[in-house]
């Protein structure tokens, strides 16, 4: 099996663990390489399609896992080893990593996770696994949003910003902003207004099969932040279309119950 290990950049402890894990897996007969590049500040792919690994092992926190999915030219199975603080996306602890990986065989057991494509005038702005955040460039200034579903105006409101989350991202920024925890097997767009002007503006979970768009009606400088990794400055009064990506993230199924894991990790926050 061909394995690529991605370690959290500049984290000495994660780097040392990655090298130890690499040596153990090499001795066990796996082909293993380590990526030591700073992928956050370089627009480079994690691998090329001619030398595609069978799986990627990410040693780090949720941010490193999100970065890995952003840098994959195509999504392949990913295993998160928690070297972060909470690690909602990491299913394996460091002391379990070697035994779990060596128990795997091809084809790998995977759980697909929906991602959201964001398009402006048909052009792809980016794809998110957790969320896309729309906020103003000017602190303390509200934006005006119009949500259109299947050709109909579903809601018009003012707020400091808007979180457009996947079910996977419902335990991230969306949860902190008052959104619900959503089963990641559900495929939908979770919209959570940030500090809405009216208390009646509540989070919405919309089926991903519907045609959904978000229109910015306020003529103010606006930026779009995708998975906390990519920042894009938007035109004033633009419309963003939301689509379910045809290339979902692929997570190794470590046999953990989602709700038990969430309950356990939330107790440590």
Active site residues: 62
d(CA 97, CA 100): 5
**What DSSP string describes the chain?**
-EEEEEEPTT-HHHHHHHHHHHHHHHHTT-EEEEE-S--SSS---SS-GGG--SEEEEEE-HHHHHHHHHH-SS--EEEEEE-SSS-SS--B-HHHHHHHHHT--SSPPEEEE--EEEEETTEEEEEESSEEEEEESSTT--EEEEEEETTEEEEEEEESEEEEE-SGGGGTHHHHTTPPP--TTS-EEEEEEES-SSTT---EEEETTS-EEEEE-S-S-EEEEETTTEEEEEPTT-EEEEEE-SS-EEEE-----HHHHHHHHHTT-
């Amino acid at each position: 099996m061909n394995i690529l290990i991605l370690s959290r950049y500049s984290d000495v402890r994660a780097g040392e663990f990655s090298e130890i894990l690499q040596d153990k897996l090499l001795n066990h007969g796996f082909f293993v390489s380590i990526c030591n590049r700073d992928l956050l500040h370089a627009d480079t792919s994690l691998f090329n399609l001619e030398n595609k690994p069978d799986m990627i092992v990410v040693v780090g926190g949720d941010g490193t896992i999100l970065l890995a999915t952003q840098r994959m030219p195509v999504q392949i199975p990913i295993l998160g080893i928690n070297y972060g603080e909470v690690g909602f996306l990491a299913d394996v602890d460091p002391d379990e990593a070697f035994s779990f990986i060596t128990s795997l065989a091809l084809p790998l057991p995977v759980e697909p996770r929906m991602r959201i494509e964001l398009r402006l005038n048909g052009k792809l702005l980016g794809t998110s696994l957790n969320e896309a955040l729309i906020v103003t460039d000017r602190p303390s200034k509200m934006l005006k949003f119009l949500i259109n579903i299947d050709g109909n105006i579903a809601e018009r409101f003012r707020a400091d910003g808007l979180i457009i989350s996947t079910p996977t991202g419902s335990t991230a920024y969306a949860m902190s902003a008052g959104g619900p925890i959503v089963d990641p097997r559900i495929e939908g767009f979770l919209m959570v207004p940030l500090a809405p002007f009216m208390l009646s503006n509540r989070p919405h979970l919309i089926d991903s099969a519907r045609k959904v768009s978000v229109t910015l009606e306020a003529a103010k400088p606006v930026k779009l932040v995708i998975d906390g990794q990519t920042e894009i400055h938007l035109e004033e009064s633009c419309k963003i279309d939301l689509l379910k990506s045809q290339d979902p993230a692929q997570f190794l199924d470590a046999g953990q119950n989602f709700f038990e894991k969430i309950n356990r990790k939330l107790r440590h926050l």
